[in-house]
Each structure stands twice: as C-alpha cells, then as structure tokens.
Chains A and B, each alone.
Chain A
C-alpha cells in the first residue's frame, strides 16, 4: 500500500474513532448511572445489553477496526521515524500488520461471543 494511502486511512479511521468512540463513551457515561452501565447486566445500557444490541455491537466492531488500524499505524509512523531503511520499514510493517490482524480476530471473538452469550 502506498504511504499516502496508509496516511489517508490513518486520518479517515481517526475521524471514524471520533464518531464510534463518541457513541461508546456516550453509552457508558451519559445514558444513566455509570455504575449501572458498567454492571454486567440489569440496566438498559449494561455491558451485556450493549453487546446484545446489534447496532451498538456493530459500532463496537467498527471502533475495534478503526482503533486497531489507527494505533498500529501510529506505532509504525513512530518506528519509521526512529530509523529509515527498506529492511527496517518492511519488517516493521509486516510485524505490525500481523499483530493488528491477531488483535482484530481476538477482539471480534469477544464481541461475537458476548453478543451470543445466553
């Protein structure tokens, strides 16, 4: 992927995080007593209810994708500013890409199981 494409994605995912992360923080802090929202179940926006709500769970998945890319690309930017060279830059990119995919799979697993938990 071209460097300019990677950075364009960095800004797009950044704006996506503002939207999806905003909704995530909104459901935790602004929809009722915060302790009730952080209880496992019981309230309208308690943990498991948020995962069971398809729209909110989808937002969490989007947030996961956005933050995953944004955070790991941010680390990549820092590491290729630290040192330059084709070997280093390609190595960093590959390792972070694999780490990003593993994180994405693990996080998606959490969302899917929590969504189906009976």
Chain B
C-alpha cells in the first residue's frame, strides 16, 4: 500500500524513532524534534478550539443559528466542563509548547532567509554543525527559556502558583 519500501508499521517505527528520539544526535536535532512535537500538539489544540467555539454557535446544524441566550449557556457550560486541573495542566503544557514553537520558529525563519548562518568551512572532526552558530544556539536556548517562563505564567494564572 502507498508504494512503501517496507511494511507501513516498520516505516512508521523508523520515522518516529528518527524524528522523536534525538538522544544520539546533537542539539540542533533536539530543536527539530521539539519543533515537530510542539507543532503537532498545537495543531491538536487548534482543531479542538475550532470545534469548541463552533459548538457555541450551533455546531454542524447549518440552518439553525442559536439565540444569544442559548449560545451563552453553551459557552458557560463548556467553560465549566473544561475548568478542571487535568485540562488546566494541558493548557500549561500547550502554552509552553506554543512559546517554544514561536521563538524556535523565528530562528528557523531567519535560517530560511540565510541569516545567522556563519561562514562556510571545511567539516572537521567531531563534525559539529557549523551552521548552528552561537547566535542560533542563543535563540534555541531563548526559546527553551520562553517556554519555561510561559509555563510559570500559566501555572500562576490557572493555579495561583
């Protein structure tokens, strides 16, 4: 199926290990894995958010637009349903992932347009990636710091920490 060279499960296993298990690789690979994980997680939040807000104004019932009072009641009920420690912890995690994805995404945008790349040079042992320059590393750690700061802020908002 799909013209895969190997059975789907073994291709999938290889891909997931390669993408999400960066322990054998360098820091840039960690940045890549985290960008991918956070991107998928925030996409999940986006889909849930579209469904959640859509439900308030009648969901999939195309021709029945609810009244103001019905919309208010659905919104309030949804809000109270989601107001629990499990969901709040989820928001803390999603928030910090979004923070990481933002700053690391700005680093990747700068990279895309050839900024902060350093000069080309001969690859030498131990083959550190030359393009992952000091300023690139600084931006990576800034994104990790921003993620942590967002987690602290969110904990303060939701749990009063």
Contact = CB atoms under 8 A, between A and B. Distances in A.
B130 interface: no
A-side interface mostly: helix
Nearest to A63: B46
Given A40-B75, A106-B50, A118 B68 contact: yes
Interface stretch (B23-31, B53-61, B131-139): B53-61
Contacts of B112: 7, 11
Nearest to A64: B50
Q: How large is the interface on B (under 10, 10 to 19, 20 to 34, 35 or more residues)?
A: 20 to 34
A32 interface: no
B117 interface: no
Contacts of A54: none
B157 A29 contact: yes
A97 interface: no
Contacts of A47: 75
A110 B36 contact: no
B67 to A, nearest CB: 8
Contacts of A14: 105, 109
B-side interface mostly: helix
B91 to A, nearest CB: 11
A64 B54 CA distance: 13
B50 A71 contact: no
Interface residues of A, number: 34
B21 interface: no
Interface in A4-29: 7, 11, 14-15, 18, 29
A56 interface: no
A99 to B, nearest CB: 10
A117 B43 contact: no
A117 B73 CA distance: 14
A78 B15 CA distance: 10
A90 to B, nearest CB: 12
Given A40-B76, A103-B50, A109-B54, 14 more contacts: A18-B106, A41-B72, A48-B72, A64-B50, A71-B39, A83-B2, A83-B4, A85-B3, A87-B3, A88-B3, A103-B47, A113-B58, A114-B56, A117-B68
Interface of B: 2-4, 11-12, 15, 36, 39-40, 42-43, 46-47, 50, 53-54, 56-58, 65, 68, 71-72, 75-76, 79, 102, 105-106, 108-109, 112-113, 157
Interface of A: 7, 11, 14-15, 18, 29, 34, 38-41, 47-48, 64, 67, 71, 74-75, 78, 81-83, 85, 87-88, 103, 106-107, 109-110, 113-114, 117-118
